[in-house]
Amino acid sequence: MSDLIYLLGQLVDVEGKILIPGIYNDVLPLTEQEKELYKNLEFNLDDLKADTGAKQFLHETKEEILMYRWRYPSLSIHGIEGAFSGSGTKTVIPAKVIAKFSIRQVPNMNPSVVEKQVADYLESKFSERKSPNKMKLTMVIGAQPWLANMNAPLYVAAQKAVKKVFNIDADMIRAGGTIPIAKRLEEILGKPVMLLGIGGPDDAPHGQNEKISKYNYIEGTKLYGSFLQEIAKV
């Protein structure tokens, strides 16, 4: 357990930057055109603090927070399997523990390259411990990153539909998620793919309190209908 906690503590620094050497080498550089997209996005830091209960964030500005959520790779630790986690004061020392973490890929990153970078780094850090224990690293899923073309007809039609139903301009955002089928569909069909969700930022998808509001359900139905009308005009 001590070895595992040590290794997990070597993955990112206090600002969330991944410490694995070379992990940022293939990340596309930020262009001025892309940088401009973040300025007008509807995103309020005070509202986010109220929703999450956070007192402060890892980054100071709206633009920095969104970029590190969307356009740069991020590493999340999800849990430790095999360790005692129940209530009480048991002093069990586990013979085997498994940590689970993920690295969100972004354009131009290659999962097989990232896997080797992670393995080389953790093996190096583990050897420094001179531990009698053994370590094994496994990549369960390695999905290619996907970034859509916002000028494709699908997106033009969707923006018009959002304007018609909600009477606001659509915010074009990136959003990290484990949806490898999007990239595969685009490759196989040779057609652009779009994710047009109708959930709210507080819907907690896949969580214990997952929900969707009646408003989003009803207005989302209208949105999809309007989108089909708009795409038919293209």
Bridge partners of 99, per DSSP, are 80
H helix intervals, the chain: 2-9, 32-39, 45-52, 62-70, 111-129, 153-166, 181-189, 214-233
52 in a structural domain: yes
Is residue 165 over pLDDT 70?
yes
Q: Which domain holds residue 203?
A: 153-233
Residues 50-98 have pLDDT tens digits of: 878 888 888 888 888 889 888 899 999 999 999 888 888 888 889 999 9
Q: Which CATH number characterizes residue 27's domain?
A: 3.30.70.360
Q: Are residues 122 and 169 in the same domain?
A: no
Summarised one tens digit per residue, pLDDT across range 103-125 is: 999 989 999 999 999 999 999 99
Other CB atoms within 10 A of residue 185 CB: 15
Tally the domains of the chain. 2
Residue 171 within any structural domain of the chain: yes
Residue 51: its pLDDT value, please? 79
Whether 40 and 103 share a structural domain: yes
Indicate if 225 and 109 belong to the same structural domain. Answer: no
Q: Are 103 and 119 in contact (CB under 8 A)?
A: no
Phi, psi of 159 (to 5 degrees): -65, -40
Residue 28 maps to a domain = yes
Q: Does residue 25 lie in a domain region?
A: yes
Asked if 163 and 107 sit in the same domain, the reply is no
Please measure the distance between the N-terminal and C-terminal CA atoms of the chain and give it in whole angstroms: 58
In a domain, 138, yes or no: no
pLDDT digit string, tens, across residues 13-43: 998 899 999 999 999 999 888 888 888 888 8
Confirm whether 134 is domain-assigned: no
> What span, in angstroms and rounded, lies between the C-alpha atoms of 115 and 102?
11
Residue 185 and residue 218 in one domain: yes
123 CB-near residues (< 8 Å, 6+ apart): 135, 137
Residue 174 and residue 58 share a domain: no
Is 196 domain-assigned? yes
Chain segment 202-229, per-residue pLDDT in tens: 888 888 889 999 999 999 999 999 999 9
Instruction: State whether 22 and 113 are in the same domain.
Output: yes
Say which CATH number the domain at 226 has: 1.10.150
